[in-house]
Structure 1
Amino acid sequence: MAIQKRSKALNISVWVVQILLSLTFLYAGFMKLFLPEDLPWLWIQENTELVWISGVVDMLAGLGLTLPSLLRILPKLTVYAAFGSMVLMLSAILFHVLRGEGDQIGFNVFIFICAAFVVWGRGKKYPIELANRPFK
């Protein structure tokens, strides 16, 4: 009984992290695409193309982290979106370090760890099953 409760709690934890990561990426993407002038970072004014590209990638990550699992349509895409989020965070860390802004990578490291948790949770521990599997 205790193992089943721990399993259920861990599955819920993966869902919570997925949803919070999704909301974080959707918010960041929305801000970068529609309200970049409201963002306080200097690099936004210096790299307008990068802001647009990262905004689109953020929106795709936000959608990919939850929709495939919630709809149970190609749920493996959630794992791929989490991997992509990890790559995005590694790119952001490298970007900030190269600009001499190494003190600003804490949030990126945290998001990287959360995305790695989703990769582990949805990839190995608690994968989402397809809704209809007629040829199982």
Structure 2
Amino acid sequence: MNVVLWVVTGLLAAAVLAAGVLKVVRPRERLQSAGMTWVEDFSDGMVKLVGVLEVLAAIGLVLPALLHIAPVFVPLAALGLVLVMIGAVVVHLRRSEASTMAPAVVLLVMAAFVMWGRFGPYSFTS
């Protein structure tokens, strides 16, 4: 199970890092024209903040465990990502975009799995 958790964590971190960097470096208008229509409801600063939170979560999912420095940050990063993805699902539901919220739901499930595993039976302290 530890290997499965590492694989899911790596995939999750890669996806969230890519999405976060995209939100940080691209202007809001380019994100909107690329299909992220939800950005029209938020300021530039808020979109950048979401991107920064995603980048930090990606780093927190992997780096503490790899460096063996405060690995408790791994499930905490997963918890933070669960909260961000719940927010994403709520935004899509409010905008009646249920058909486009599948990526957020998948990332939410992956983050919840990592959080469960690393807080619970497969923590780095056992």
TM-score by length of 2: 0.87
Q: CA RMSD in A?
A: 1.7
Q: Deviations over 1:57-95 (max 9, x none)?
A: 111111011111111111011010001111111000001
Q: Which residue is equivalent to 1:43?
A: 38
Question: 1:123 is matched by which residue type in structure 2?
Answer: F
Q: Tell me if structure 1 keeps the 8 A contact 2:38–2:92.
A: no
Matches within 5 A, 1:1-136: 10-36=1-27, 37=30, 39-47=34-42, 48-129=44-125
Equivalent-residue separation in structure 2 for 1:85 and 1:96 (angstroms): 16
From the CA coordinates, give the structure whose radius of gyration is larger.
1
How high is the sequence identity, in percent, across the aligned residues?
35
| One-letter amino acid of the structure 1 residue matched with residue 2 of structure 2 | N
Moved more, 16-25 or 42-51: 42-51
Contact 1:122 1:128 in 2 (8 A): yes
- AA aligned to 2:36 is W
Residue 46 (structure 1) shift? 4.8
TM-score, scaled to structure 1? 0.81
In the TM superposition, what is the alpha-carbon distance from 1:41 to its structure 2 partner?
1.6
Give the ranges of 4+ consecutive aligned residues of structure 1 lying more than 3 Å apart after TM superposition.
none
Q: Name the SS of the counterpart of 2:35 in structure 1.
A: coil
CA–CA distance in structure 1, aligned partners of residues 90 and 41 of structure 2: 17
Unaligned 5+ runs, structure 2 = none
Q: Deviations over 1:13-32 (max 9, x none)?
A: 00001111111111111101
> CA contact under 8 A between 2:23 and 2:51: conserved in structure 1?
yes
Unaligned runs of 5+ in 1: 1-9, 131-136
